[in-house]
Amino acid sequence: MGKIFAVGETTYDIIFRNGQPTGAIVGGSVLNTSVSLGRLGIPVHFISRMGNDQIGNLSIQFLIKNGINCDYVTRFEGNSRLALAFLDQNNNADYQFFKAEKIPSLRFPEVNEKDRIIFGSTNAIRDEGRNSLLLFLNQAHDKNVLTIYDPNIREFGAMELIDVRRKFEENLYLTKVLKGSNLDFLRIYETSDIDVIFDRVAYYGVETLIVTFGADPVEIRTRNFSMSVAVPPVQTISTMGAGDNFSAGLMYGFVLDGINTGELSQLKPSDWQKLVGHAIAFASDVCQSDSNYIAESFAKAYSMKST
């Protein structure tokens, strides 16, 4: 079956509603994806860093409890990364981050063609350890490993954006499936027109582009076709982990159907309908709670249903 390697930052999210803290949860974009996959019994190797502090200890314990392999988690002396998540009246989160005091390099494994990689968010454009990340992704690219990139771009000033866009496009050379929200592409390319975006990212070798638009239909572009997938309405409590779990649903579908890079170009619209269906189901479950990951009860029922 191959292994899944998930590369991303670890944060500890403190959630605020109406200006008051209401809860705390282990977070980080790719970490959230990993936990949901772990709850479905999919073996995931998480590649990250965290401090040798109480937050780091809580995070490691939580990951192991959810079936995540932490052999490639680097611990360092100092404080782990924190995030304050302020939910607005529409339950969308505005984040304030407190970075870790030290940023050591990550440790990366060897990969083979049957493995799959998901990476993204701030970790994918950070200067610290970037050479090691690019070396790992280049080795995966040379072996034709299936890679999913979820940029999860934050707001940047005009001068910062130039550097962010450069790193983003470097990452595209090493990406097979690019999945992001319309806000990601508004921030990076100042457009959410999926045809314009696909023309730009396909230049770098991206084979499939998937763009989410909140409650509006998901748009998919490949070199062979274009399509939309409707999103059923849900009662939203929080959107904090929605995009991360959309990515988890995609990866779950790839694993379930044995899809690697060699099969990507052969997928038909009906195949993508099924794959994005998993992604929407995962995101919808997370939106109906304050959690960053699918509920354990949902994972158990969904696993039984799909196998």
Q: Give residue-wise pLDDT tens across range 10-60.
A: 988 888 888 888 888 898 999 999 999 999 999 999 999 999 999 999 999
Task: Give pLDDT tens digits for 219-236.
Answer: 999 999 999 999 999 998
Gap between the Cα atoms of 200 and 206, Å rounded = 9
pLDDT computed for residue 151 by the predictor: 95
- Map residue 248 onto helix, strand or coil: helix
Nearest Cα residue to 242 out of 56, 72, 21, 92:
92
pTM: 0.92
Average of pLDDT values for 266-288? 96
Cα three-residue angle 92-156-222, rounded to 5 degrees: 75
- CA dist 211 and 215 (Å) reads 12
Cβ–Cβ contacts within 10 Å for residue 17, how many? 16
CB 36 within 8 A of CB 152: no
Q: What pLDDT does residue 89 have? A: 79
Q: Rounded mean pLDDT of 241-246?
A: 94
Q: Supply the Cα-derived Rg of the chain in whole angstroms.
A: 18
Contact 3, 215 (CB under 8 A): no
Distance CA 68, CA 36 (A): 10
The answer to whether residue 109 scores a pLDDT higher than 80 is yes
User: How is the chain split into domains, by residue range?
Assistant: 4-306
DSSP of 197-229:
HHHHHHTTT--EEEEEETTEEEEEEESS-EEEE
| Residues 6 or more apart whose Cβ sits within 8 Å of residue 146 | 115, 116, 117, 176, 177, 254, 259, 260, 261, 264
pLDDT digits (tens, 9 = 90+) for 116-146: 999 999 889 988 889 999 999 999 999 999 9
CATH of 4-306, one of 3.40.50.300, 3.10.180.10, 3.30.70.141, 3.40.1190.20: 3.40.1190.20
Q: CB of 30 within 8 A of CB of 70?
A: no
pLDDT at 294 over 80: yes
pLDDT for residue 284:
96
Distance from C-alpha of 207 to C-alpha of 209, rounded to nearest angstrom: 7
pLDDT of 122 reads 86
Would you say residue 91 has pLDDT above 80? no
Per-position DSSP letters for 60-122, written without gaps between them: HHHHHHTTEEEEEEEEESSPPEEEEEEE-TTS-EEEEEE--S--PPP------TT-EEEEESG
Check whether 287 has a pLDDT greater than 90: yes
Q: What is the amino acid identity at position 45?
A: H
Answer for the pair 10, 256: CB distance below 8 angstroms, yes or no.
Answer: no
Burial (CB count within 10 angstroms: exposed 0-12, middle 13-18, buried 19+), residue 260: middle
Mean pLDDT of the chain: 92
Measured from the Cβ of residue 202, the count of other Cβ atoms closer than 10 Å reads 17
Q: In this predicted structure, what is the pLDDT of residue 92?
A: 76
246, 247, 248, 252: CA torsion to nearest 10: 100
Question: How does pLDDT run across 142-189, given as a tens digit for each residue?
Answer: 999 999 999 998 777 777 889 999 999 999 999 999 999 999 999 999
Question: Cα dihedral sign for 83, 87, 88, 93?
Answer: positive
1: its two tokens: 């079956």
Mean pLDDT of the region 113-117: 95
User: Is 1 a residue whose pLDDT tops 90?
Assistant: no
pLDDT > 70: percent of the chain: 99
Q: What is the dihedral of CA 173, 220, 252, 305, to 10 degrees?
A: -170
